[in-house]
A and B are shown apart, each in its own frame.
Chain A
Amino acid sequence: MAQVAETYRAGAIVVEAPWSRATPGGAKVGSGYMRIKNTGSEPDRLVGGSTTVAERFEVHRSTVVEGVARMEPVTGGLEIGPGQTVELKPGALHAMLVNLRQGLNPGDTVKGMLIFEKAGVLKIEYRVGGIGAQAAPAAANVHQGH
């Protein structure tokens, strides 16, 4: 049975399968991953966001080049061109949840909000996977046996 990833829509923007990773004890930062599709004919930008678990929401790009790990903030918003899908995933673009008020555990869900320049505010929910997870945890077994 195929499991359908959670999909959230606001205007021309569709956000699929937001997820996060469990955090080690005492960690003050977490991460957020998702696919963002722009189904419209105009470019849009992810200009901000928030979650109920952290003070701040930032978009960063991680790189490991010539053995050096770096993190660059994406400034001026993350552009999603018309017809484009931008993926936030481990080791690349990601949302950084800064100053966590609580640790994240596998199986948790985290409520959050994304703000797009044109599509406006979109409420989403992140599923929390393991500490080293490389992909979104499987969706809960809902609607089975129908």
Chain B
Amino acid sequence: MSSTLKIIRWIAFGLITVLLLQIGFFAWHWYRGETSGSRFAQPIITTTGVPDVGGPFSLVNHRGERVTQDTFKGKPTVYFFGFTHCPEVCPTTLFEMTQHLKDLGPDADRLNVVFVTVDPERDTPELLKTYMESFDPRIVALTGTPEEVTAATKAFRVAYRKVPTEGGNYTMEHSASVIVTDAQGGFVSLIDYHEDKATALAKLKRAIRG
């Protein structure tokens, strides 16, 4: 009799141990899922808490003048990348930026807006000058040698790629996000291509207020 009781006691003890292990296992997985899973996925952040975006660059503006990151210091600056052989995304972004500058009123003068081509082979300063006449005259367009453009895209962590198309042509794939920096060139925020006008404008206002 006593040996039967002992067996039952051991079985019960075993079952409780298995149950506790299972609870622990699920809790651990739940915890991992909550902190590192997709629900709360965080971008990799440097120890300063600010992404390392906006390093040194040297390019030529649409008026043919040499510019560097220092040219735009002193005012918060908006940078975005594109190319003129782009039927939709780039003219849309430039058009929206023109609208934002209008909506900002006098505050627009406290902001630099910079469009950098990822297609320096076709986008010469002369072509950019003509192209930019269709947008707010405060927007500056930049180009350079292919090496200078590559260096600038690396500084801003911007991805781009040349893609061949029909008839020996090519198009460019590129990051469509707008990068906002403070007056010292430090990263402030990103404006996603799909963000609505009010949110984008609020981000620009925040950058201007500092």
Contacts and interface: CB of A to CB of B under 8 A. Distances in A.
A29 B87 contact: yes
Contacts of A90: 88, 92
A23 B105 CA distance: 25
Contacts of B99: 132
B36 interface: no
B92 A24 contact: no
A25 interface: yes
Chain B, interface size category, equals 35 or more
B84 A27 contact: yes
A123 interface: no
Contact of B173 (A69, A96, A98): A69
A58 B166 contact: yes
Contacts of A70: 163, 173
Contacts of A109: none
A60 B89 CA distance: 13
A27 B141 CA distance: 14
Contacts of B209: none
Contact of B174 (A27, A69, A73): A69
Contacts, number: 93
Contacts of B192: 67
Contacts of A73: 165-166
Nearest to A132: B95
Contacts of A35: none
A31 interface: yes
Interface in B151-179: 159, 163, 165-167, 169, 171, 173-177
Contact of B134 (A30, A58, A131): A131
Interface in A28-82: 28-31, 56, 58, 60, 62, 64, 67-71, 73
6 contacts: A24-B91, A29-B87, A31-B87, A64-B89, A71-B163, A131-B91
